[in-house]
Structure 1
Amino acid sequence: MEDRLISIEGIAKRYPAAAGGQTTIFEDLWLRVGRGEFVCVIGHSGCGKTTVLNILAGLDAPSAGAVIVDGREISGPSLDRAVIFQGHALLPWKTVLGNVAYAVASRWPKASKAEIEARATRAIATVGLAGAEGKRPAELSGGMKQRVGIARALAIEPKILLMDEPFSALDALTRGTLQEEARRICRETGQTVYMITHDVDEAIYLADKIVLMTNGPGARIAEIVVNPLPADRRQGAIHHDPNYYALRNHLIDFLVSRSKTFRDDPPAGYDPRHPPVVRLDGGVAAPPLPSAAPKLRAVAT
């Protein structure tokens, strides 16, 4: 049975409309994330992906519904949930060690200076920055700054790592390297990750499950696609896997054509409380949708 860590239960986000009434960004979102899972969320701009992440972080509140983490409803920010944003958000006057140690001291305020620095140093080494502890952000490349951000998040040993397109501003080579590091670290530590991305290939490489959101306003979760690639996949070799192109084509087809039509005309039997779980190496897992199953099987062949 799934060891559920995150349970998103019917959340919605609404804002007052300029002409009166309300604009609903998303509504009736239901999602469960198991402990140790790496989940990527894909959807067009405007569907509320970042808003959902902010709600998970406790930085925003839903207009309806609730988010349960480890059996307790979220009521605000917590050090159990670390966020890595698109920008590194480092303190420019502190060194690499100082930036990470600042987070550690927030988590364990009664720890000694030696213990704080030891924890920070271990996290810095984990992201491959050993030897750069004394450098300040101005002396670091963009990729190194993001590594410090990851180290800072990992150093507080969060239950959940929330990532909002953390590699999007980096060049392709650096982005690929950090993706490999992120996957390695999360697999080794069993970290639970909820990540937003617009990059289909990034989601295919990193995620255990890929959540597809329809267009907004009024966005919903259309499908949860289980990644059929092996857990020990290597970035430069995944395109050789027989399931790779079926998965990639399915995701792109959704973004190009089905993300809007699904919102406006969901298939018969669709229940937002139980979004269909799609397995492209074996059809639809559960619950089956008669109108969608033939298309999914065709993509998988």
Structure 2
Amino acid sequence: MTKPLISIEALARRYPKHGGGETTVFQDVWLPIRKGEFVCLIGHSGCGKTTILNVLAGLDQPSAGVVIVDGREISGPSLDRAVIFQGHSLLPWMTVMQNVAFAVTSRRPDWRKDKVRAHCQKYIDVVHLTGSEHKKPAELSGGMKQRVGIARALAIEPKMLLMDEPFSALDALTRGSLQDEVRRICTATEQTVFMITHDIDEAMLLADRIVLMTNGPEAKIAEIVENTLPKDRQRTDIHKHANYYALRNHLLDFLVTRSKTFASEIGAKGYDPRHPPVVRPGAKPTAVETEPPKAASA
């Protein structure tokens, strides 16, 4: 097996409690992420999803454990890791081109202006904002602002793209359109992505693996679900695939029921945090498929 690009090892985050002691939000989190892989993290509020993403971004420090990216331990923010937040976080006095160029010149300070502009234009075109280069954020819709954020993140060509529910504030049509764009771009560029979401269907469309967290406090990875849908899946017909409902029902069952009872499951079955269970939900064979072939008549 090839060495992972990102390795989360024994990660924990604790906060002091009022009156003494500590609250452990999550602990003993182990997760390797391969280059070009799209990983989604799902769990209820309070399990530390955003904290894990902030540690990956270098915006927060773990209480224990390390995150290693491309052989180096994370010790702070880096342009090797781009973050797309729930809000667009654009500079309101800058145009679309200037917002993207600001990130690119931070990454490539030795580039000439014409090279920066050409590079920015490439990613503005990728997110279908051609013609809006000179507009400021106040002139853009919510979906267009998020497209700028995506273009800005991709333009610095990060080793890892971190996404914290980037489509949650958008209407359903805009959200679906941007999900399609992100899947198309990340598949074409083989971008490594770590994304937080509460949306099961979003995770099923985008992710190669879906990581399920138990409820906090003291949350941990309960299991890792491998996406059994085709790599060339489309949002418009994903529900027609035989594995769709098996995968969706497995995820839904975890969020509704098993996220609360997983602690008792650990006691009954045992649990190795370094190797959490890996499952591949799929459609059960039909009676016709499982029936042995009949012998030919004489």
* Category of TM-score, reference length = shorter chain: over 0.9
Q: CA RMSD in A?
A: 1.3
* CA distance in 1 between partners of 2:122 and 2:228 (Å): 33
1:158 lines up with 2:161 in the alignment: no
2:229 aligned residue = 229
Runs of 4 or more above 4 Å deviation: none
Deviations 1:115-156 (A, max 9, x none): 111111111001110110000000000000000000000000
1:245-294 Cα distance to aligned partner (Å, 9 max, x none): 000000000000000111354241311111111111399xxxxxxxxxxx
Q: Which amino acid aligns with 2:64?
A: A
CA contact (8 A) 1:3 1:35 kept: no
Q: Counterparts of 1:23-62 in structure 2 under 5 Å?
A: 23-62=23-62
Find the residue that maps to 1:24 and give its secondary structure: strand
Letter in 1 for 2:209: K
Partner of 1:216: 216
CA distance in 2, matches of 1:262, 1:182: 32
One-letter amino acid of the structure 2 residue matched with residue 269 of structure 1: G
Structure 1 CA distance for aligned equivalents of residues 201 and 282 of structure 2? 18
Q: 1:269 corresponds to which residue?
A: 270
Q: Is the 8 A contact 2:14 2:24 kept in 1?
A: yes
Which residue of 1 is the match for residue 207 of structure 2?
A: 207
Normalising by structure 2, we get a TM-score of 0.93
Q: Which amino acid aligns with 1:24?
A: T
Is 1:193 the counterpart of 2:193? The answer is yes
Instruction: Find the counterpart in structure 2 of residue 247 from structure 1.
Output: 247
Partner of 1:7: 7
2:243–2:283: 8 Å Cα contact kept in structure 1?
no
* The 10-residue stretch of structure 1 (113-122 or 174-183) with the greater mean CA deviation from structure 2: 113-122
Contact 1:215 1:263 in 2 (8 A): no
User: 1-side partners of 2:176 and 2:127: how far apart?
Assistant: 14
Q: Distance in 2 between matches of 1:2 and 1:259?
A: 31
Q: Residue 260 of structure 1 corresponds to which residue in structure 2?
A: 260
What is the alpha-carbon distance in structure 1 between the residues aligned to residue 205 and residue 77 of structure 2?
Answer: 29
What runs of 5+ residues in structure 1 fail to find an aligned partner? 284-300
Q: Higher Cα Rg: structure 1 or 2?
A: 2
1:289 is matched with: none
Q: Does the Cα contact within 8 Å between 1:219 and 1:263 map onto a contact in 2?
A: no
Scaled by the length of structure 1, the TM-score of the pair is 0.92
1:18 Cα deviation after fit: 1.1
| Match status 1:178 vs 2:197 | no
Q: What count of residue pairs does the alignment treat as equivalent?
A: 284
SS across alignment from 1:4? coil
Contact 1:90 1:137 in 2 (8 A): yes
Does residue 1:279 correspond to 2:284, yes or no?
no
SS in 1 for 2:5: strand
**Identity, % of aligned positions:** 70
**Which string of whole-angstrom CA distances, capped at 9 and with x for unpartnered residues, describes residues 140-179 of structure 1?**
0000000000000000000000000000000000000000
Query: Does structure 2 retain, via aligned residues, the 8 Å contact 1:220–1:263?
Result: no
1:99 paired residue number: 99
Read off the aligned partner of 1:71 and give its amino acid letter: G
Quote the Cα distance in structure 2 between the aligned partners of 1:269 and 1:133: 56
